[in-house]
Amino acid sequence: MKRAWQIFKRVFLWAVILQFVYLIILIWVSPPVTITQTVSWITGHGLQRDYIDYDEMGPNIKLAVIASEDQLFPDHDGFDVKAIKKAMKYNEKHPKKTRGASTISQQTAKNIFLWQHGGWFRKGLEVYFTFMIELLWSKEKILEHYLNVAEMGDGVFGVQAAARAYFNKDAKNLTRQEAAMIAACLPNPKVYSVKPISRYVSNRYDDILRQMNNLTGDKEIEELVNDTEEKNDRKDAKPLK
């Protein structure tokens, strides 16, 4: 038992060190593969992906996923406490139709480091990794990774692959309507298809467009979704006299 405990401590220590190193590395590079992507490929759903940099994504898809998934993303530290409490109350009354309250940060942590489903054990790990990426990464990096690894169709991962598959264009050139349609499928991309458009996506994307319009003009969100070149142009612009 003593030797087994020593082995366990060593394995645990190395696991902690390696995951921390991986977290640091992902500040500069994209994850080579995720568990969800591997499962999709193994189970025959395919694996379409094409990682791109933050500035290549364009503002529309960034705004669309914030409007759809997490409107307080620029403000919170990884968790939306009010939304969690609301979801818990709703789930108590509707046990057969549960509602989630995961932020973009939580979804990013799950998509990169963990697996889908899994109950309370996975949720516990998700809390840890959400805390770590909020501590070590910028909001731009979290959103970039999310938009690169999130499943946006059956076997389609990331906004560039989705833009190519559905609209035959680069993510940066997506219109607001096209971006809203992709964002609408995120709750269940294997069921809520963009092309052919499912009833859920058809009904949902108009609401996302309205939310995008409501968020337009919000200073923190504008700073987050605009490309670096646009930000630099604004800084370099001379004030009107």
Give me the CATH number covering residue 91.
1.10.3810.10
**In which domain, by residue range, is 97 found?**
27-223
Q: Which of 149, 160, 154 is nearest to 194 (CA)?
A: 154
SS (H, E, C) the chain: CHHHHHHHHHHHHHHHHHHHHHHHHCCCCCCCCCHHHHHHHHCCCCCEECCCCHHHCCHHHHHHHHHHHCCCCCCCCCCCHHHHHHHHHHHHHCCCCCCCCCCHHHHHHHHHHCCCCCHHHHHHHHHHHHHHHHHHCCHHHHHHHHHHHCECCCCEECHHHHHHHHHCCCHHHCCHHHHHHHHHCCCCCCCCCCCCCCHHHHHHHHHHHHHHHHHCCCHHHHHHHCCHHHHHHHHHCCCCC
Q: What is the pLDDT of residue 97?
A: 62
Q: What is the pLDDT of residue 4?
A: 84
Q: What is the pTM of this model?
A: 0.89
Whether the CB-CB separation of 225 and 62 falls below 8 Å is answered with yes
Residue 228 lies in a domain: no
Residue 36 lies in a domain: yes
Residue 96 predicted with pLDDT over 80: no
Q: How many CB atoms lie within 10 A of CB 136?
A: 14
Q: What is the pLDDT of residue 98?
A: 59
Residue 234 predicted with pLDDT over 70: no
Residue 231 lies in a domain: no
Residue 213 predicted with pLDDT over 90: yes
Q: What is the pLDDT of residue 21?
A: 95
pLDDT tens profile 29-60:
999 999 999 999 999 999 999 999 999 999 99
Q: What is the pLDDT of residue 94?
A: 58
Residue 173 lies in a domain: yes
Q: Average pLDDT, stretch 140-156?
A: 96
**More confident: 3 or 213:** 213
Residue 15 lies in a domain: no
Residue 196 lies in a domain: yes
Residues 59, 173: Cα–Cα separation, whole Å: 9
Q: What is the pLDDT of residue 44?
A: 93
The number of distinct structural domains making up the chain is 1
Q: What is the pLDDT of residue 91?
A: 64
Most distant CA pair in the chain: distance in Å? 79
Residue 209 lies in a domain: yes
Q: Above pLDDT 70, what percent of the chain? A: 88
Residue 4 lies in a domain: no
